[in-house]
Structure 1
Amino acid sequence: MTTTAKQLDVSPVVQETAQLLLDHYVFPDVARQLAELLRRRLADGAYDVAAAEELGRRVTADLQSLNGDPHLSLKHHAEPVPTEQGAAVLAAMRGKFASSLGGAPRVELRDGRIALLELAPALFPLGWAAEPLTAALTLVAPADALIVDLRGNTGGDPDTVAFVCGHLLDERTHLNTMYWRDGERLEQSWSPPHVPGARFGGSKPLYVLTSSRTFSAAEELAYDLQQLGRAVVVGEPTAGGAHPREGWTVHPHLEASIPVGRSVNPVSGTNWEGTGVRPDVPCPADEAADRAHALAAERLR
């Protein structure tokens, strides 16, 4: 059903989004500027629209106008979303989890004992995904080389990133550090010292496929493995979103997505925000699997 102008009360949605920015956005100075911009645009009538989807589009454009943060948005959901913090994203992910074999929709053995494992459309919460990912990663563990396809992966859970890395490394390894908005708390991410099932391990050839759609936690997986010198990244530069986000429902169909921290890689001392993960072997995304296979076959020879 289309949301009518009478049903859509714009002001409280925009005001609440502005206050959430001030309370939670990882960069307080930017938050103040953006909150002022939203309130000024509200007063000017820029958000006088009839549909929640159009309001989300306009507010998102303004939210990203200052520093281009792709995690910062007023996200529209076609179906009504729960009011609990973070529940909107989880509700949207549930159906995708069920229809993608838990986030590992394709396992393929190619010529020369080269395996391809597609992780898509997301790196789902580890509590959901541990079992299907263990099955898929155990299945490819005996291969002589592995291609991990992240071209259609748009993000997910950092704990799942660490879990996958545990299967692709030989020992517990520092992957990433999150610095949170309050400035007093940081959280390190490490690959687990032990994993269920078999490990592919840290010495056999490993290739990671990326596209311009690869985003967020999927970018972290590619970036972590690249910075450790563990994987060769093949494909296109990724979307460039490195800030962990939280979501707040501000309307039955609108979720304010606000980054609450920033990632710092222990090797590079920085992250992929704004730049994306830069491939070691650049090529169009639709050619990346064949290019990685050729590289793996040559290395194995």
Structure 2
Amino acid sequence: MTTLTPSSVPTPAPVTDVAAVVEETARLVTEHYVFPEVAGRIAALLRRRLAEGAYETDVAEELGAKLTADLQSENNDLHLCLKYHPEPVSPEQGEATMAAMRRRFDASLGGVPRVELLAGGTALLELAPALFPLAWAAEPLSAALTLVSRADRLVLDLRGNAGGDPETVAFVCSYLLDERTHLNTQYARVGERYDQFWSLPYVPGARFGGTKPVYVLTSANTFSAAEELSYNLQQLGRATIVGETTRGGAHPREGWTVHPHLEASIPVGRSINPVSGTNWEGIGVRPDVPCSAAEALDRALELAAGA
């Protein structure tokens, strides 16, 4: 095994033109951010702060942190940020390489690191660290969801899940419902487009079904698509949410490279739940049974024992 010594660790490229990074970020926000009026105010703020000398640094990570604070100052949109990547970001991809995501996928057994039968016929299914692209995740998710379909009750652990693919959310929901159901609509600013997400009429393997008890565990780190999965099931009355209020990110995002180590992450749309007519942006998914994340599994098992 090769060990990197401090002298052999690549040094991130310095930021040689701060003004160009700030201006490109402001331009992208103006053109793509889901709320045009907010975008205009944020772009004006970035340009004003640049003129004031607030971004005087050649360290990419530091610049990213400063810009992120200002990007989120208007409405605390956690998907709106300048993400720092220790390794250079490919300009063609506009975000961290798919190879890095694939390594996380493989290391977590396809995003299903734990499937366990607990006492009393309750199955525990952990989905982490993300809901990976469905083209990858369908096989391990189908296997795991088919396995737990025989259980009397299901505990779905999303405490360590930081988000992912809305199509994967719909895929998981499909195993927990009996009929085709409208789950979510995503509005895209560009093109004024509305994309609906529904549970599937057919799934590989066996469904857990729409009647047996489901408990979803959440934490303050549960984010984005994992929040959608929790929120969808909660709004449909299909699951009891146990744990902490989630982080509160309901906006689908895209990424653009503005420096070899900096990715402008910009929300390009918003979620609209067909039941509530709104989403969890900024407020998080609020649990039906509030408790600490550490206590959530024990609390869910208590509920399951009484079901």
TM exceeding 0.5 = yes
For residue 118 of structure 1, what is the aligned residue in structure 2?
126
- Between the aligned partners of 1:186 and 1:52, the Cα distance in structure 2 is 36
Counterparts of 1:160-175 in structure 2, within 5 Å, are 160-175=168-183
Counterparts of 1:216-295 in structure 2, within 5 Å, are 216-295=224-303
1:143 aligns with 2:151: yes
User: Contact conserved, 2:108 with 2:129, CA < 8 A, in 1?
Assistant: yes
Any runs of at least 4 consecutive aligned residues in structure 1 with deviations exceeding 3 A, and if so which?
Answer: 1-5, 89-92
User: Contact conserved, 2:13 with 2:260, CA < 8 A, in 1?
Assistant: no
Q: 2:84 aligns with which of 68, 76, 90?
A: 76
What is the CA distance between 1:80 and its match in structure 2? 1.2
- Between the aligned partners of 1:86 and 1:37, the Cα distance in structure 2 is 24
Query: How does the TM-score come out when normalised to structure 2?
Result: 0.94
Q: Which moved more, 1:34-43 or 1:80-89?
A: 80-89
For residue 2 of structure 1, what is the aligned residue in structure 2?
11
Q: 1:210 aligns with which of 218, 228, 235?
A: 218
- Between the aligned partners of 1:154 and 1:115, the Cα distance in structure 2 is 22
What is the CA distance between 1:4 and its match in structure 2? 6.3
- Between the aligned partners of 1:32 and 1:101, the Cα distance in structure 2 is 43
Query: How does the TM-score come out when normalised to structure 1?
Result: 0.96
User: Contact conserved, 2:170 with 2:199, CA < 8 A, in 1?
Assistant: yes
- Between the aligned partners of 2:58 and 2:139, the Cα distance in structure 1 is 44
Where does structure 1 lack aligned partners over 5 or more consecutive residues? none
- Between the aligned partners of 2:106 and 2:179, the Cα distance in structure 1 is 31
- Between the aligned partners of 2:73 and 2:113, the Cα distance in structure 1 is 36
CA RMSD of aligned residues (A): 1.3
Q: 1:181 aligns with which of 173, 185, 189?
A: 189
What is the CA distance between 1:183 and its match in structure 2? 6.1
SS in 2 for 1:13: helix
Where does structure 2 lack aligned partners over 5 or more consecutive residues? 1-9
SS in 2 for 1:168: coil
What is the CA distance between 1:90 and its match in structure 2? 3.6
For residue 25 of structure 2, what is the aligned residue in structure 1?
17
For residue 5 of structure 2, what is the aligned residue in structure 1?
none
User: Contact conserved, 1:243 with 1:261, CA < 8 A, in 2?
Assistant: yes
SS in 1 for 2:306: helix
CA 66–91 in structure 1, closer or farther in 2 if over 3 Å, else same: farther
- Between the aligned partners of 1:105 and 1:184, the Cα distance in structure 2 is 38
